[in-house]
Structure 1
Amino acid sequence: MPVTQTETGKIWQRRTTREQWLGWLGWIVLVALFMYCWDVMNRGTMWSFVSDAPRQAADLLNRSWPPRWSYMERLWIPLWDTINIATLGTLLGIIVAVPVAFLAARNTTPSAVIVRPIALFVIVASRSINSLIWALLLVTILGPGLLAGILAIALRSIGFIGKLLYEAIEEIDETQVEAVRATGAGSMQVMDYAIVPQVLPAFAGISVFRWDINIRESTILGLVGAGGIGAQLQSSLNTLAWSQITVIFALILVTVVVSEWVSAKVRHAII
């Protein structure tokens, strides 16, 4: 707490003179960075198009309304495919993520020098690539279809579930582990009776939460040929059928809202 001595007494100051100068220097750097970013944005922006954006948006809305609700009957099967992509991809991701998480956690890994870095690399590699990029690569390798979408969701889910789960494993109460080990239990018995019961609620919540995220992500995988309702969206975009696109957007919105509600209810029931 800086205090300045004056003739009339001591005056409390929130910051020292050095801290005040550093604060001003930080603001100057921030303003300079903002100006630089603004200059970069101006170099790559055609402001004539920006000024015409309100008129273009109004024209697009006029062509999108009213929605072609009769198109809905063609969307139920793609929507079901989308839900299956999210669900099967999440399950496959869980199957791989659980052992990877136990290998990555400091208190359960068999080797902190070799095995743990490999497990952490798997988690980081999975999280560093977006599911849309995974889908694009898999469509190139496997061809278009639901399999590419399922694997793309799974590969993305491994990193998300694995990271949160191994952090939950590292945060368990070690006294319970020591108590079970003191009874003479083996390593698998310690895992079964001391570690798994503690991380099971977190694991259930993480899995449901990831499924909710995958519902949203799987709706756009069809844009790169991975099946689902995104394929119908891509087809409508190619033909500029804006009234159909409005129906697809509405159905996606309802699906995401319902999945969010289901996810919240399940997490509340589990946790």
Structure 2
Amino acid sequence: MPVKTLSDGRKAWQRRDSKSQLTRWFFTLIGVAIFVWCWNRISEATTWFFVWDAPSIAGDILARATPPRWSYIEKLWVPIWDTLNIATLGTIGALILAVPVAFMAARNTTPSTLFIRPIALLIIVSTRSINSLIWALLLIAIIGPGVFAGVVAIAIRSIGFCAKLLYEAIEEIDVAQTEAIASTGASRWQVMAFGIVPQILPAFAGISVFRWDINIRESTVLGLVGAGGIGLQLSSSLNVLAWPQVALILIVILMAVVLGEWVSAKVRSAII
């Protein structure tokens, strides 16, 4: 405990000693200097006239977008259905691939911690590190534009997310249950089927619903790069400055996201 001596000779407790205080001040000054330098670089690359004029531009767009063009709703049913299909099929595909990756990544189920586990972890990191829009752009160049490219992009993006949470759940299981099953002479696969899988099923269900909810949000914008869904209608309306149509599309997207959130909340509450 740092203690300093007062002028009258009494001992007083202090939270940090002089060296720690100087160190903290030093790093604080460095942080402030870095912030000022970054702000200057941002300021040099920013056209502040447009920033100050942004409220009036936003007000003008809002006025042009009001009221929404409700008659355009007839052309949005199929795109929003495609968006929900992209999110759902992409999530299912990701879960099918994520389950074996998770078992290979978990320390207590991987066949080899030296070779297999690093490969599984590399798959998890690589699929999580690239945004779904980037995957969609790559897949459109490979397999062409359309809903299928969006489904594959969502699936690849979701593998790492689902596998990471699932392998962490596998590593946190109750070992006593698996040991009890193994003591009966059960094989490795029987231990996995009757000792591990039942323990991770609630986590698996929660991860699945949570990722599906996220994928609904991500799939709404994949159409901006040509991967199908309602984002394609949004991109077309933005290109022709049809602001009433844009307003209606944003409302439909909001309702789809709210619906997905409601469904996921109900499923999670039923699981928990």
Could you tell me the TM-score, scaled by structure 1's length? 0.98
Q: Aligned partner of 1:70: which letter?
A: S
SS class of match (1:11): strand
Counterparts of 1:81 and 1:18 in 2: how far apart (Å)? 62
Q: CA deviation at 1:8?
A: 4.2
SS class of match (2:100): helix
Q: CA deviation at 1:31?
A: 0.8
Query: Gaps spanning 5+ residues in structure 1: where?
Result: none
Counterparts of 1:64 and 1:103 in 2: how far apart (Å)? 51
Residue 2 of structure 2 is matched in structure 1 by: 2
Once the two structures are overlaid, the 10-residue window that deviates more, 202-211 or 168-177, is 168-177
Counterparts of 2:2 and 2:173 in 1: how far apart (Å)? 41
Whether 1:87 aligns to 2:88 is yes
Counterparts of 1:270 and 1:233 in 2: how far apart (Å)? 36
Q: CA deviation at 1:121?
A: 0.8
Q: CA deviation at 1:73?
A: 1.3
Cα deviation, 1:172-215, whole Å, max 9, x if unaligned, reads 11121111111211101110111111111111100100000000
Residue 238 of structure 1 is matched in structure 2 by: 239
Q: CA deviation at 1:46?
A: 0.8
Residue 176 of structure 1 is matched in structure 2 by: 177
Counterparts of 2:21 and 2:228 in 1: how far apart (Å)? 57
Cα deviation, 1:97-130, whole Å, max 9, x if unaligned, reads 0000000111100011111111111111100111
Residue 211 of structure 1 is matched in structure 2 by: 212
Percent identity over the alignment is 64
Q: Aligned partner of 1:2: which letter?
A: P
SS class of match (2:160): helix
Cα deviation, 1:132-177, whole Å, max 9, x if unaligned, reads 1111111111111110000000000101001110111111111211
Q: Aligned partner of 1:29: which letter?
A: I
Q: Aligned partner of 1:52: which letter?
A: D
Whether 1:229 aligns to 2:230 is yes
1:158-169 equivalent positions in 2, closer than 5 A: 158-169=159-170
Q: CA deviation at 1:53?
A: 1.3
Q: Aligned partner of 2:3: which letter?
A: V
SS class of match (1:207): helix
Once the two structures are overlaid, the 10-residue window that deviates more, 91-100 or 256-265, is 256-265
Q: CA deviation at 1:26?
A: 2.0
Residue 97 of structure 2 is matched in structure 1 by: 96
Counterparts of 2:183 and 2:11 in 1: how far apart (Å)? 61
Counterparts of 1:161 and 1:40 in 2: how far apart (Å)? 38
SS class of match (1:153): helix
Residue 266 of structure 1 is matched in structure 2 by: 267
Residue 61 of structure 1 is matched in structure 2 by: 62
SS class of match (1:52): helix
Residue 31 of structure 1 is matched in structure 2 by: 32
Residue 20 of structure 1 is matched in structure 2 by: 21
1:72-221 equivalent positions in 2, closer than 5 A: 72-221=73-222
Residue 252 of structure 2 is matched in structure 1 by: 251
Q: CA deviation at 1:9?
A: 2.2
Aligned length: 271
Counterparts of 1:223 and 1:137 in 2: how far apart (Å)? 14
Q: CA deviation at 1:59?
A: 1.2
Q: CA deviation at 1:25?
A: 1.2
Q: Aligned partner of 1:3: which letter?
A: V
Counterparts of 2:266 and 2:30 in 1: how far apart (Å)? 46
Could you tell me the TM-score, scaled by structure 2's length? 0.97
